[in-house]
Amino acid sequence: MTNPNGRFGQHGGQYISETLMNAVIELEQAYNHYKNDPEFNRELTYLFNEYAGRPSRLYFAEKMARDLGGAKIYLKREDLNHTGAHKINNVLGQALLAKKMGKTRLIAETGAGQHGVAAATAAALLDMECVVFMGEEDTIRQALNVYRMRLLGAEVIPVTTGTATLKDAVSAAMREWTSRIVDTHYCLGSVMGPHPFPTIVRDFQAVISREIKEQLREKEGRLPDAVIACVGGGSNAIGSFYHFIDDPSVRLIGCEAAGRGIDTFETAATINTGRLGIFHGMKSYFCQDKYGQIAPVYSISAGLDYPGIGPEHAYLHDIGRAEYVPVTDAEAVEAFEYLARTEGIIPAIESAHAVAHAMRLAPQLAKDQIVVITISGRGDKDCAAIARYRGEDIHE
């Protein structure tokens, strides 16, 4: 799906400073070698299965389906992975690759903290140093994850520039990588940034759709009618979509964080409100003003609070292969509470955006149709913030 120069249609590319060019070229060469190396793949599969707990469950949410009165609903339980989210898939792959490349230090950005926790975890496991950049605003929203990262031996650097959220953490990590390349790998957390990151991260996350396909074949003997996942940068979504892209009967639906609504400025719904631009190493859609200044986006979810979207999603949108729908804070919080009550599963507030759209869609579908929702992470980290949203102040 990737062109040789990392293009997805008009999107992608390598818009970075010259200082980083040889680093991404070296990374691409190493990746092209190791992705076909049986030993690398054996080690990665071992880590996936024995350490991260893969394959993750595909759970039939029978109560939810009955309650909504439409399609059959399956939940792809990435929340059950070690560290509690899909982020571990990518991080184990990249950390192992970095180690093979002789790197001894991982740096990472994080929004909700899930990618940072995963990076800190992989670094601990593989004996690497780890530094995580996190917007100061997010260190407050996700204090528990900051503590987890420190516990795992990582250094967490609060980023105070700009809006002090995910995009600023990415900028800070890019700046750090520019100053220290030889021993350091930038473990990017989503399908974004300069080539080859969108391809590498997608390939490591594609295990999600590969498993969904196999598991559903076993349980139902057929393909799903729709796969729904939340989209910030878009790593769990592309992972959930990838092996269905060539199956046109499967609707692929990405749920963007609309924040307080796509008709307000307090939104992070890139496809619905952004336009084509160049930022953080890639050409894609971005929330920006008329002069190309990147917009200060907003979502209740720190993990979706990003003004851009991965280039492959932008391409899937252009060719009409995937749909991208906005989900507001209010809808996501309701879905968060609904899934907890109905299935006894507390999803990450990010994943709750996907649950919210499934709640709209499922009742419109026939009883024999099948919807898969990727629960990208668990919601423990969000409980205090959701309580606050509901006007209840609890101590973590």
Partner 1 sequence: MSKIKNAFAGGKAFIAFITCGDPDLITTAAAVRAAAQNGADLIELGIPFSDPTAEGPVIQGANLRALKGGVTTDRKLAFVRELRQDVTIPLVFMTYANVVFSYGAERFIAACAACGIDGLILADLPFEEKNDFLPLCHEYGVDLISMIAPTSADRIATIAKEAEGFLYIVSSLGVTGVRSEITTDLAAIVNVVRANTAIPCAIGFGIATSEQAKQMANYADGVIVGSAIIKILEQYGAAAPEHIGAYVKSMKDAIR
Answer yes or no: are the C-beta atoms of 371 and 361 closer than 8 Å.
yes
> What is the DSSP secondary structure assignment for residue 282, as one 8-state letter?
E
By CB under 8 A, tell whether 14 contacts partner 1: yes
- C-alpha gyration radius of the chain: 19
The smaller minimum CB distance to partner 1, of residues 2 and 178, is found at 178
154 to 82, 130, 146, 180: CA distances (angstroms)? 17, 5, 9, 17
Span between the terminal Cα atoms of the chain, in Å? 44
Residue 222: both structure tokens together: 């057929």
Residue 319: both structure tokens together: 């060719």
The CB-side HSE value for 61 (13 A sphere, CA atoms) comes to 30
Specify whether 87 is catalytic. yes
28, 78, 109, 256: the catalytic one is 109
Strand partners, 77: 375
Kindly report the number of other CB atoms within 10 A of residue 18's CB atom. Answer: 7
190, 284, 299, 376: the catalytic one is 376
Residue 363: both structure tokens together: 């009742």
Taking the complex as a whole, the smallest distance from the CB of residue 236 to partner 1 amounts, in Å, to 24
> What is the DSSP secondary structure assignment for residue 57, as one 8-state letter?
P
Answer yes or no: are the C-beta atoms of 205 and 236 closer than 8 Å.
yes
Taking the complex as a whole, the smallest distance from the CB of residue 176 to partner 1 amounts, in Å, to 9
CA-wise closest residue to 159 among 130, 135, 128, 129: 135
Kindly report the number of other CB atoms within 10 A of residue 49's CB atom. Answer: 11
Among 87, 148, 185, 280, binds partner 1 (CB under 8 A): 280
By CB under 8 A, tell whether 18 contacts partner 1: yes
76, 87, 99, 103: the catalytic one is 87
Answer yes or no: are the C-beta atoms of 73 and 357 closer than 8 Å.
no
By CB under 8 A, tell whether 273 contacts partner 1: no
Stretch of 38-46, 161-169, 239-247, 378-386 lying at the interface with partner 1 (CB under 8 A): 161-169
By CB under 8 A, tell whether 277 contacts partner 1: yes
Among 125, 144, 181, 223, binds partner 1 (CB under 8 A): 181
The smaller minimum CB distance to partner 1, of residues 53 and 277, is found at 277
Among 215, 236, 288, 351, binds partner 1 (CB under 8 A): 288
Taking the complex as a whole, the smallest distance from the CB of residue 5 to partner 1 amounts, in Å, to 7
**Which class for 277: exposed (0-12), middle (13-18), buried (19 or more C-beta within 10 A)?**
middle
Taking the complex as a whole, the smallest distance from the CB of residue 20 to partner 1 amounts, in Å, to 8
Among 167, 243, 378, 381, binds partner 1 (CB under 8 A): 167
| Collapsed DSSP state (helix, strand, coil) of residue 107 | strand
Please, where are the H alpha helices in 47-165?
62-68, 87-100, 114-125, 136-141, 143-151
| Euclidean distance between CA atoms 298 and 259, whole angstroms | 6
The smaller minimum CB distance to partner 1, of residues 17 and 364, is found at 17
By CB under 8 A, tell whether 45 contacts partner 1: no
The smaller minimum CB distance to partner 1, of residues 44 and 192, is found at 192
Taking the complex as a whole, the smallest distance from the CB of residue 4 to partner 1 amounts, in Å, to 11
By CB under 8 A, tell whether 281 contacts partner 1: yes
Among 3, 22, 32, 249, binds partner 1 (CB under 8 A): 22
The smaller minimum CB distance to partner 1, of residues 156 and 295, is found at 295
By CB under 8 A, tell whether 15 contacts partner 1: yes
Among 112, 131, 294, 373, binds partner 1 (CB under 8 A): 294
Answer yes or no: are the C-beta atoms of 198 and 234 closer than 8 Å.
no
Number of residues that bind partner 1 (CB under 8 A): 37
Specify whether 179 is catalytic. no
The smaller minimum CB distance to partner 1, of residues 170 and 238, is found at 170
Locus of tokens 């930038």: 186
The smaller minimum CB distance to partner 1, of residues 109 and 203, is found at 109
Specify whether 301 is catalytic. no
Among 1, 140, 151, 278, binds partner 1 (CB under 8 A): 278
* Active site amino acids: 87, 109, 376
- Residue ranges that bind partner 1, judged by CB under 8 A: 5, 13-23, 161-162, 167-168, 171, 174-175, 178-181, 275-281, 286, 288, 290-294
